[in-house]
Amino acid sequence: MRLILLFLLVLSISCDNDNCDLNHYPSAPYGTADDTIYGDNYVRYLYVCYTSSYNKVVTYEIVGDCWEMYVDDNYNINC
């Protein structure tokens, strides 16, 4: 039981500072993106035909004091 609590504590502490440097945009999570759009409070990475029929869109937005990541898979008939 103590091991589980210790693991959860270490996990929560290590995750607190991920993507909290607002002076720099987060890097592309899946390697070099096919298209990148930078905004004042967001960055969007597009991976065309990431899987057999889908594009992967990764968007980071500033939420509070950190970057928050959102991932969408969009169907692409051209893949």
What is the pTM assigned to this prediction? 0.75
Q: Is the pLDDT of residue 71 over 50?
A: yes
**What pLDDT, on the 0 to 100 scale, is given for residue 9?**
46
- 19 is a domain residue: no
Summary mean pLDDT of the chain: 85
- 8 is a domain residue: no
- 23 is a domain residue: no
Domain carrying residue 47: 30-79
Percent with pLDDT over 90 in the chain:
68
Q: In total, how many domains does the chain have? A: 1
- 73 is a domain residue: yes
- 20 is a domain residue: no
- 75 is a domain residue: yes
- 64 is a domain residue: yes
- 61 is a domain residue: yes
Ordered DSSP codes for 3-64: HHHHHHHHHHHHHTTTT--TTSPPPPTTSS-SEEEE-SSEEEEEETTSSSSEEEEEEEEEET
| Tokens encoding 4 | 């589980």
2-40: per-residue pLDDT in tens?
555 555 544 454 455 578 888 899 999 999 999 999 999
**What pLDDT, on the 0 to 100 scale, is given for residue 31?**
94
